[in-house]
Amino acid sequence: MFKDIKTDKIFKSRLEKYYDELKWLYSELYNNDTQAFDYFLCMLHQYYKDRDPDLKEWDEARELVPDWFHGNEMLGMQMYINCFNQNLKGVKNKISYLKETGSNYIHLMPLLESPKGRSDGGYAVSDFRRVQPELGTMEDLKDLAEECHRNGMSVCMDFVMNHTSEDHEWARRARAGEKEYQDRYFFFDDWYIPNEYEKTVPQVFPTTAPGNFSWCEEAHKVVMTTFYPYQWDLNYGNPTVFNDMTANMLNLCNHGIDIVRLDATPYIWKSLGTNCRNLPQVHTLVRIMRIASEIVCPGTLLLGEVVMEPSKVVPYFGTVDKPECHMLYNVTTMASTWHTVATQDVRLMKHQLGQIFALPKQYVFLNYLRCHDDIGWGLDYDYLKQFGVKEVEHKKFLNDYFCGNTFGSDSRGELYNNDPRLGDARLCGTTASLCGVEAAEYENDPQKLDMSIRLDIMLHAFLLSQSGIPIIYSGDEIGQLNDYSYHSDPEKWDDSRYLHRGSFKWDEAGKRRSTTSRQGRIYKAIRKLEKLRATHDVFDSGADCWIVETYNDHILGIGRYHRGEKLIALFNFSDHDETAWINEVEEYKDLLTNKKRPAVAVGIPARDFAWLITNYNN
């Protein structure tokens, strides 16, 4: 096998580029286990050899333009396959719709085999080599990826790496008493060590799944289950686990997956006496995975799911010289956006964006308003303290506002994982329902509907004004509302996240060309913004960005400059008309109307925005 590596010129050259670092990192992590390392190299070579010629050609093209995903033309859409159109073949049949929406990057939510009723929405994988039968087969996945590639679209899917389902073959053999497979998890003979862990490890779901360990009756042992009892944490201190899981990831890449979303990345290394979050070994593992992908499938991107405060998120980019993830979720801006909607105060957002604008331009964030998950209020409360904001009381205010329990609020959301003991809860709901569209339509109030649609569009304009890749949750493009049917589903009723995971309403999508329907108004407005973003260099991720001082705490001002274009973007989060007290000297035009509009004392209607642009090249 090593002789094959030496004679395979492309693989050999890629391996040589990283070999010294790869061996050093692997040896440090796994105590110089040369046998495991040699196996790892042979495994990488095998997956390289098995990679289709078309995918290798795709890799070579992207190697020539390594920043291919940095541009302003990238636009994503996230979906559950069964909700969008039943199965993988159904998604393939709707490629034309996805192209019409401008999407060139689709994120398929978990689709690998998992047990019904014990899967956490597909995040408890029982077989990493099989698709959930009702969704199709691995061949269907490959066919969809090939069709996407023919249409210039990339495909993303989740790689659940922290744990497996209790039904996975490894778990079944561990339950049967095979020590080799128990060593792939965290098994303990009694509760002494688990109780020691509990002293320092926070609980992820204290109300729905308290504790970090569960009793395994078949093995008569305790097993670590950080998320849910049916999700058994993998022991990445065992090199066999890392080797086999990396092989599972590369198998997905060889089926055409372009972007691998590393689920629950901060949790994958456990160490007694720590909080088992963001440990240094996690970064070593992610760096090795990055190197593995650069060697086998350099056209593939790693997207890190790091739902943490900003100081914990940014390190997952690695460094410019030794990068880890290609992209990270901009979870803090998402949460701060909804905080700003509720408070109508932009000061926290200015503070938070200022930190992002100061980062190297090579760092690419995935920006979003809503996703499959809840909204957690992980805000910068140390900053908010200066305004008299107290964390527990503020979280309650935000949740009350977005559940419509506050006077004057038209938002319609529901709480998730509410823990009255800690005064904490997370929030669920679609973008449109949180913006008030649902309440306005229920009340048949045209004025409220206008205001809520305007807010929905303004938030999408803000999303598209940020550097990075914007991704829209399927249904948001037509203003889809909450789906309350989950309350009567015995497998979903206790998980309010299904409130915004309803089936895509194809009958409503048929109204997207209407000029008067809610669906048409939102769809056309967002498409117009997306097209403007794709055609103007100023939206490129390489743009210089800064906060524009509006001298009005209700209006957020963002400046962007790139290749001679300068944009002033203004967003009024107040429910009253406001003025941005700016005084820019250049001649500007309104990007939406193409008419002259001075960037001086700009009036912005309630819940509205303005994109003002000037071009130094003219």
The catalytic residues are: 263, 305
d(CA 234, CA 270) in angstroms, rounded, equals 9
Spacing of C-alpha 288 from chain mean position? 21
Helices (H), 410-486: 431-435, 437-443, 446-464
Q: What gap in Å lies between CA 258 and CA 253, rounded to an integer?
A: 7
Query: How far, in Å, CA of 162 to CA of 267, rounded?
Result: 7
Distance of CA 474 to the CA centre of its chain: 13
Sign of the torsion angle spanned by Cα atoms 113, 119, 123, 126: negative
**Cβ atoms 467, 544 nearer than 8 A:** no
Cβ neighbours around 213 below 10 Å, total: 21
Q: Residue 362, exposed/middle/buried by CB under 10 A (0-12, 13-18, 19+)?
A: middle
Phi, psi of 289 (to 5 degrees): -65, -35
Q: Is 200 helix (H, G, I), strand (E, B) or coil?
A: coil
**Residue that the structure tokens 């949180």 belong to:** 434
Q: Which helix (H) or strand (E) holds 377?
A: none
The answer to whether 266 touches 10, Cβ cutoff 8 Å, is no
Nearest to 448 by CA among 416, 417, 409, 401: 409
Distance CA 92, CA 262 (A): 24
For the CA atoms of 394, 396, 401, 407, the dihedral, rounded to the nearest 10 degrees, stands at: -100
Contact status, residue 164 vs residue 231, Cβ threshold 8 Å? yes
Q: DSSP 3-state assignment of 360?
A: coil
- Count CA within 13 A, CB hemisphere, residue 369: 30
**Cβ–Cβ under 8 Å, residues 425 and 402:** no
Pairing of strands 469-473, 424-428: unpaired
Q: Considering only CA atoms, which of 69, 32, 21 is closest in space to residue 319?
A: 21
Does residue 77 sit in helix, strand or coil? strand
DSSP 594: -
Please state, in angstroms and as integers, the Cα–Cα distance from residue 50 to each residue in 131, 282, 489, following that order.
20, 28, 43
Contact 559, 607 (CB under 8 A): no
**What is the residue type of 45?**
H
Question: Within a 10 A sphere around the Cβ of 507, how many other Cβ atoms?
Answer: 8
Strands (E), 32-132: 76-79, 105-108, 112-113, 127-131
